[in-house]
């Protein structure tokens, strides 16, 4: 990895019997937008607050540019922080809120005024400098919290579900803005969310946590296209799971038996011949054809219309119910419940998962 700004080594955090973090190793690159993604209780906030200095690790270290900062208090780490619920100081104006970290650092009035104006412009809140927090909408308050966190030029910005209190449309707008701000400033962002779409749309890299452990990490596309485990395949997007037996190796993949029928699965490193394996198959990789074609016969059991996509459950005798997702504009077959269909997919649509 190019220049590492933060290194977390063998981080353990125990609360009684609970392992909130269980031997986490993670390097964060300078300027990276890194997202910690996982279900509730997976350890995301614990990891973020350990980096911030609010949580003392039971074991392990946090280093910043090669210096061990494990026992340094939060204020000495100098990281910017934005947490959910936009905790602005209610008795201070927007400008005073943004200027507060600079005041604490003993900056001059002129310097504070100039930087506050700059930061408020950055988040398009210049017009609101004299307002009180309670006179702002949720999205505006979160913008001010962001300006405040950036005002003192922190090397790292820590964000814990900063958009979770906002409605879907506003959240989507602010996701674009945050991403643009990250690109403009080049500051390292560590972002916590349990929202997979948010993680996929903003991050350079996603770290998936479960039970206090890193399950997998990688660029959004790499993780989505090549999940290693059932958990990742189902947490990041949706998947069908199929059980196959590897019958033989072929160039670039394996010949397999799927419920008594031969299929080929592309893989750079397929499991050994004879192995029973589990594969993930994304719903959008399954093509729907008319009844009687080559493929897996089935019958549409349920249709859920989602606007630009429709999600179908197709009952098959061979493989049980399969989830199929298709763009609604591609309406060669109008998917109605009860319709008999044939399902097909390409050899590179299935991904071998690690044995559990
Ligand atoms: N102060 C605490 N005392 C006891 N247990 C804690 C404490 N903080 C966290 N935990 C436990 O540690 C585990 C990880 O919690 P953490 O808050 O890091 O998860 P999370 O992934 O951020 O979850 P969420 O998305 O719900 O915020 C959970 O099982 C939680 O109950």
Q: From atom 30 of ligand 1, which residue's Cα is the shortest distance away?
A: 41
Looking at the predicted structure, is the pLDDT value of residue 164 above 90?
A: no
Pocket of ligand 1 (CB under 6 A): 15, 18, 20, 38, 40-46, 194
The DSSP output letter for 135 is G
Distance 207 CA to ligand 1 centre (A): 17
Distance 235 CA to ligand 1 centre (A): 19
ipTM entry: 0.96
Mean pLDDT of 121-141: 92
Domains and CATH numbers, the chain: 4-227 (3.40.50.300), 238-347 (2.40.50.100)
Distance 49 CA to ligand 1 centre (A): 11
Both tokens of 287, joined, read 């093509």
pLDDT tens for 19-67 read 999 999 999 999 999 999 999 999 999 999 999 999 999 999 999 999 9
pLDDT tens for 277-315 read 999 999 999 999 999 989 999 999 999 988 888 999 999
Q: From atom 17 of ligand 1, which residue's Cα is the shortest distance away?
A: 45
Per-residue pLDDT, 167: 84
By percentage, how much of the chain surpasses pLDDT 70? 98
Between CA 232 and CA 208 the distance in angstroms is 7
Task: Please choose from 13, 17, 18, 85 the residue to mutate so as to test ligand 1's pocket, defined by most ligand atoms within 8 A of CB.
Answer: 18
The DSSP output letter for 48 is H
Report which secondary-structure segment, H or E, holds 24: strand 18-29
Task: Please choose from 38, 45, 57, 198 the residue to mutate so as to test ligand 1's pocket, defined by most ligand atoms within 8 A of CB.
Answer: 45
Q: Contacts by 195-201 with C-beta closer than 8 Å and gap 24+?
A: 195/164, 196/37, 196/235, 196/236, 196/237, 198/35, 198/163, 198/171, 199/35, 199/37, 199/236, 200/224, 200/236, 201/175
Distance 80 CA to ligand 1 centre (A): 21
Task: Please choose from 8, 20, 50, 85 the residue to mutate so as to test ligand 1's pocket, defined by most ligand atoms within 8 A of CB.
Answer: 20
Label residue 318 by pLDDT band (50, 70, 90). Answer: very high
Per-residue pLDDT, 316: 97
186: left (phi over 0), alpha (psi -120 to 50) or beta: left
């Amino acid at each position: 990895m190019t220049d590492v700004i933060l290194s977390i080594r063998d981080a353990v955090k125990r609360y009684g019997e609970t392992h909130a973090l269980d031997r986490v190793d993670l390097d964060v690159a300078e300027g990276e937008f890194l997202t910690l993604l996982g279900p509730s209780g997976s350890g995301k906030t614990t990891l973020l607050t350990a980096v911030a200095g609010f949580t003392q690790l039971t074991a392990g270290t946090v280093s910043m540019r090669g210096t061990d900062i494990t026992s340094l208090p939060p204020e000495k780490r100098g990281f910017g922080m934005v947490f959910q619920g936009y905790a602005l100081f209610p008795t201070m104006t927007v400008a005073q809120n943004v200027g507060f970290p600079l005041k604490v650092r003993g900056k001059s009035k002129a310097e504070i005024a100039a930087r506050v104006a700059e930061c408020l412009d950055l988040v398009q809140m210049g017009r609101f400098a004299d307002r009180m927090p309670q006179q702002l909408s949720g999205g505006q308050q979160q913008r001010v919290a962001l300006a405040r966190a950036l005002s003192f030029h922190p090397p790292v910005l820590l964000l814990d579900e900063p958009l979770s209190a906002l409605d879907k449309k506003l959240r989507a707008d602010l996701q674009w803005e945050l991403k643009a701000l990250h690109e403009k400033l080049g500051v390292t962002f560590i972002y916590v969310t349990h929202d997979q779409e948010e993680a996929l749309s903003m991050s350079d890299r996603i770290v998936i946590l479960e039970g206090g452990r890193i399950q997998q990490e990688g660029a959004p596309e790499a993780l989505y296209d090549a999940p290693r485990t059932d958990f990742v395949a189902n947490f990041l997007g949706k998947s069908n799971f199929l059980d196959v037996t590897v019958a033989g190796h072929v160039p670039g993949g394996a010949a397999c038996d799927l419920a008594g029928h031969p299929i080929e699965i592309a893989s750079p490193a397929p499991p050994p011949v004879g192995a029973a394996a589990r594969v993930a198959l994304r719903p959008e990789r399954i093509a729907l054809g008319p009844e009687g074609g080559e493929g897996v016969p089935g019958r549409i059991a349920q249709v859920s219309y989602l606007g630009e996509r429709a999600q179908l459950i197709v009952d098959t005798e061979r493989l049980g119910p399969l989830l199929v997702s298709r763009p609604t504009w591609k309406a060669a077959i109008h998917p109605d419940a009860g319709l008999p269909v044939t399902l097909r997919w390409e050899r590179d649509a299935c991904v071998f998962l690690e044995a559990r």
